[in-house]
Amino acid sequence: MFAALLACTGLLASAGCLRVNVHGDPHAYREAMSDSDLRLATYNVSLYSDQAGGLVRRLQGGDADAGKVAAVLQRVRPDVVLLNEFDHDADGRAADLFQRRYLEVPQPGGGEALHYRYRYFAPVNTGVPSGLDLDGDGSVGGEGRARGNDAWGYGLHPGQYGMLLLSKHPIDRAAARTFQHLRWSAMPGARRPVDPASGAPWHPDAVWTRLRLSSKSHWDVPVRTPAGMLHVLASHPTPPVFDGPEDRNGARNADEIRLWREYVSTGERPWLCDDAGRCGGLDAGARFVILGDLNNDPVDGDGRHEAILELLEHPRVLRHATPSSAGAAAAALHAPAVAGRRRGNPAHATGDFGPVGPLRLDYVLPSTGFAMLANGVFWPAPGDPAAAIVDGTDHRLVWVDVRVPTTGAD
């Protein structure tokens, strides 16, 4: 059932020992994990609504897609998981409902009830009016998409497409850092969009100097795990599409990804100031994991691929085999229109996006200081009974098992 077994004699005979690219159910690998090992995951769950409060109403009504999402989580059972596209509400009603009525209730095709004692959520930029003409249509705000385009991050109401972090281990909320308000222009060498027809900046100076970098938010959430403090770096950059020849969303996506590269790099970063006014990046000795739908495939689809490649190749990001699945490989076979244009390995995709086809957009990137045990994308092959629960969203859950090595190199 599994495409990979232990890659060396004994579990973690050395710090670099890998057993990765699990095509089947990751449940079997749980038994080999110690109490201090961690399963980290990211999952774009598509639990949003175009109306404020709509997700609460969805979850109150017994939402079939939410049940499938919960079933996947019950099968994989991550210790820490970031949920992208989970609408934010200040009181946490949607998070409460999802926990009590879905995760804590065994779902068809899922597993035993799953409880997360700790959670973190915070406001995001999506749907928050900017008061500026951000899309260059000559007006501010309006209705529908016009209103969304002039929000700090595209959305039809504040909090749409938000983020929710769930953890079995305590979260140090007081030490969490958010970068919701960081201005794009503060980043040295920012990719300021340019009008290709005139060569002039696409945003007027009065707009550019106020434009926020993060389309949702960027979070550094410290989690106190049995393996020590883990900094969860969570984000969901804008898709690099839905713009024009100026490629403003492509530029923003690339710089949203770049923020994490800057954050984990050495050296002074006086411009990198969080919403509480604290400036600078992550301590050099801190362990972290970057989680999220980063909306950028390393070689295929739209987007400035150098941004994700530079993050994957950062010296503080653990080198490891790419998570894959049998389901992704099978999905690529049913997308003949894009198969001939694809350059990357189709088994590495983390979602199937209709006419665009399968792409790798979702990432779990642990830092050096961890050793990799296993990883995968929960996307069973057609015909596997578990395949019936993956279509609650167009993305698939990505998971990574890590351990802090006691001897040897990272």
**If you write DSSP's letter for every residue of 221-268 in order, what string do you get?**
EEEEETTEEEEEEEE-PPPS-SS-TT-HHHHHHHHHHHHHHHHTSSS-
pLDDT-above-70 percentage for the chain: 91
d(CA 31, CA 205): 57
Burial (CB count within 10 angstroms: exposed 0-12, middle 13-18, buried 19+), residue 383: exposed
Count of beta carbons in the 10 Å neighbourhood of residue 14: 12
User: C-alpha distances in angstroms, 344 versus 24, 239, 395?
Assistant: 21, 19, 18
Quote the pTM value: 0.93
Burial (CB count within 10 angstroms: exposed 0-12, middle 13-18, buried 19+), residue 33: middle
| pLDDT at residue 277 is higher than 80 | yes
Mean pLDDT score, 110-125: 97
Burial (CB count within 10 angstroms: exposed 0-12, middle 13-18, buried 19+), residue 62: exposed
Mean pLDDT score, 337-349: 77
Residue 302, by phi and psi: left (phi above 0), alpha (psi -120 to 50) or beta? beta
The CA-CA-CA angle for residues 237, 238, 242, to 5°, reads 165
d(CA 345, CA 360): 9
Mean pLDDT score, 147-159: 96
pLDDT grade, residue 274 (50/70/90)? very high
d(CA 293, CA 143): 27
pLDDT in the model for residue 409: 41
- Among the listed residues 140, 223, 142, 153, the one whose alpha carbon sits nearest the alpha carbon of residue 181: 153
Fold of 27-32+175-403: Deoxyribonuclease I; Chain A (3.60.10)
d(CA 109, CA 72): 8
pLDDT in the model for residue 397: 98
- Mean pLDDT over the full length of the chain: 91
Strand partners, 235: 218
pLDDT in the model for residue 407: 56
pLDDT in the model for residue 406: 76
Higher-confidence residue: 335 or 312? Answer: 312
What would the two tokens of residue 322 be?
A: 């790419």
pLDDT grade, residue 335 (50/70/90)? low
| pLDDT at residue 9 is higher than 50 | no
| pLDDT at residue 30 is higher than 80 | no
Mean pLDDT lowest among 12-21, 199-208, 343-352: 12-21
